[in-house]
Amino acid sequence: MATREHAGSMDAREYSVSSSRLGDAFSVRAFFHKELPFAVPLQRIDSGVVFGGQRVTAFGMAYMDHHLTDRMQILYYKDDHEFVLRLVPEAANEELLLARGLAPAPDLNGLLRQLNALIAKGRQEAAKPAAQWKFGWTQYDFLAIPDIAFNITAHYTGLEGQRFFAGAGPFRVSEAWQRTAFVLNERGAIVESEATVTTAVDSVAAPGMQPHPKRFVFDKPFVVVLRHNEKRPPYFVLHVQHPELMKPFK
């Protein structure tokens, strides 16, 4: 559900809102579709990764490729268990953030606050000569991201049946649902969302680390964020916690 914190996250041309009326009933539909292809496809990870006890397919960077690292930035690195990466797709004004190691939070806004705090901390650390090795890619570093693909429809039964007054008289929400689809692989990301609300007339009223190879393996819960740039709110946030959203390794 949109909040004021997410106002301005999308341009008007990126989504559509339409309404229709049949007799005393009316329906409102919102639709959003966005494709973020990578300028250079990332590499397939032949062995995949194990996430939640299940081996799933993955992509990333198994060997050094400057065409890839030119469009990948390490925003924060504490260790191989806590880090934030920025992937720049073909459209340079867009960005895809990946964060692993965030503490549990009651909602996505709590995760976003942690993410932004780590990015700010990373900026401070990057200015220190002794820590600069954390923010550059080397031939020994490794990146593995699980493939994600899902298309989920949810009915908001808590809204269905709710009554409200508008214009001619009392109305009742007869149907409220949302479909969200997301794909993330070596070629880029695609996100699509559709929501419909239909109403009817109501008949009843630590110490410094030494430089070492870095392993950016997303084999534990992580967060995916899509946004235009760091000065605008994200238009898509996903907290990946279970392998059900991934592709089994065969």
**Which whole number is the average pLDDT over 172-187?**
83
Q: What is the pLDDT of residue 39?
A: 95
Q: In this structure, what are the phi and psi dihedrals at residue 104, rounded to the nearest 5 degrees?
A: -55, 140
> Which residues share a beta bridge with 236?
226
User: What are the structure tokens assigned to 161, written together?
Assistant: 């049946």
Q: What is the pLDDT of residue 23?
A: 60
**In this structure, what is the dihedral angle of CA atoms 99, 61, 220, 113, given to the nearest 10 degrees?**
0
Q: What is the pLDDT of residue 223?
A: 97
Q: What is the pLDDT of residue 92?
A: 87
**Which whole number is the average pLDDT over 14-18?**
66
Averaged pLDDT score across all residues of the chain: 85
Q: What is the pLDDT of residues 101-158, one digit of tens each?
A: 999 999 999 999 999 999 999 999 999 999 999 999 999 999 999 999 998 887 666 6
Q: In this structure, what are the phi and psi dihedrals at residue 4, rounded to the nearest 5 degrees?
A: -60, -30
**Which whole number is the average pLDDT over 219-248?**
92
Residue 107: Cβ within 10 Å count: 8
Place of tokens 């009651």: 106
Q: What is the pLDDT of residues 55-104, one digit of tens each?
A: 999 999 999 999 999 999 999 999 999 999 999 999 988 999 999 999 99
**Which whole number is the average pLDDT over 178-198?**
88
| CB distance 202 to 171 below 8 Å | yes
Q: Is the pLDDT of residue 209 over 80?
A: no
Q: How far is CA 181 from the centre of its chain?
A: 11
Place of tokens 């929400």: 173
